[in-house]
Amino acid sequence: MLKAPDHQVAGHQAREGQLGPLVDDSGRFYKPLQNNGRGSKELAFYRSFFSDPRVPHHIRRFFPRFFGTLVVEASDGSGPQSHLVMEDLVSGLDRPSVADIKIGSRTWYPHAKEDYIAKCSKKDRETTSLTLGFRVSGLQIYDEDNEAATGGFWKQSKKQVQGFTAEDVRGTLRRFASSNPSAATAATADEEPDCAFAAVVYGGSGGILAQLLELKAWFEEQTIFHFYSASVLLLRGNGATEAARVKLVDFAHVFEGDGVIDHNFLGGLCSLIRFISEVLCGGSDGRPHPEKSSAAENGGQG
């Protein structure tokens, strides 16, 4: 009954005999408990988060529902293994568009081992994490007009998103709210992403911007958790007729806040909010359409 998810855009994938997450047909997502301590840390986070009375009820909806652990057959054929069981966030969404955005200028935490810090620092500097306070980790956007050519989704490879510039990130956030997400690629270089869904996906009282601002208000106050290397998922269904959702995922590096706010996450979140506001309202300089991005060109060549 378990299978590899159809709409996973980042992280280890359960394909070709690899170990990765699985989904069932009742809306549950099974994530293998990693042996290196990350799995048990993520499990500890879910348990403490949902039992902590200091977490306001309205904030819990930004996190995947958690159902405990279950031993199931691992995707790599290595036999039964313990999995975290949580809500499958794309379940029920028709042709889901998904952007995985890793938040924080710094993905490493104080007191980490030096080699881990060096590895993370290098990646933060090679990607937009350092400069923008976040980076795109994965991406698929439903592309109605190119269902035959693209298999229905405009995607970018891991390597492509890792090479994103600030302008590529701007383009991505525009594409995410466009009916023609593959516009301004080599094939259609004269066309721009139309941002047709921006008002409904990003705007309004239930839109992504309002949800991010609600999260931000909590991060300005909460000193319980520090989230390193966690992601904001932006989700929407086909044609934006289904509500857009914001979710937080990946909690293998969550630490106690010790009475201090998570200024690293908050700063990055504010930067993302500023980028999305720009799509919704035009640039701060009144420039509504940024130049064609190099990501778009890469996308066309890829």
Q: Using CA atoms, how far apart are residues 229 and 280, in angstroms rounded to an integer?
A: 27
Backbone angles phi, psi at 22, to 5 degrees: -130, 160
C-alpha to C-alpha distance for 9 and 226, rounded to whole angstroms: 24
Task: Specify the residue, 23 or 232, whose C-beta has the smaller distance to a second copy.
Answer: 232
Nearest distance in Å: CB 112, a second copy = 11
Nearest-approach distance from CB 70 to a second copy, in angstroms: 35
> Which alpha helices (H) appear in the chain, and where do they start and end?
38-51, 57-60, 114-126, 129-132, 147-150, 158-162, 166-175, 198-201, 208-221, 263-281, 294-301
242: tokens are 């289904």
Question: Is the Cβ of residue 53 or residue 77 nearer to a second copy in the bound state?
Answer: 53
What is the radius of gyration, based on Cα positions, of the chain?
A: 19
Minimal CA–CA distance to 228: which of 76, 56, 107, 62? 107
- Shortest Å distance, C-beta 285 to a second copy: 8
Please, which residue, 243 or 273, has the CB nearer to a second copy?
273
DSSP for 221-275, please give it. H--SEEESS-EEEEEE-GGG-SPPEEEEE--TTEEE-TT---HHHHHHHHHHHHH
Binding site for a second copy (CB under 8 A): 105-106, 110, 125, 130-133, 166, 220-221, 223, 258-261, 263-264, 266-268, 270-271, 273-274, 283-284
CA distance 22 to 16: 13
Cβ distance to a second copy smaller for residue 5 or 268: 268
- How far apart CA 249 and CA 17 sit, in angstroms, is 24
Determine the angle formed by the axes of helices 166-175 and 263-281, rounding to 10 degrees. Answer: 60
Whole-angstrom Cα distance, residue 216 to residue 276? 14
For a second copy, give the closer residue by CB, 130 or 196.
130
CB of 98 to a second copy, least distance (A): 24
Instruction: Output the smallest distance, CB 133 to a second copy, in A.
Output: 4
Q: Given the complex with a second copy, which of 44 and 166 has the nearer CB atom?
A: 166
Q: Which is nearer to a second copy, 52 or 147 (CB)?
A: 52
Cβ 256 vs Cβ 110: under 8 Å: no
Q: CB-wise, 75 or 264, nearer to a second copy? A: 264
Q: How far is the CB of 189 from a second copy (least distance, A)?
A: 23
Nearest to 288 by CA among 166, 191, 170: 170
Report the nearest approach of a second copy to the CB of residue 161 (Å).
18
Cα gap 86→42, rounded to integer Å: 12
Q: Nearest approach, Cβ of 231 to a second copy (angstroms)?
A: 16
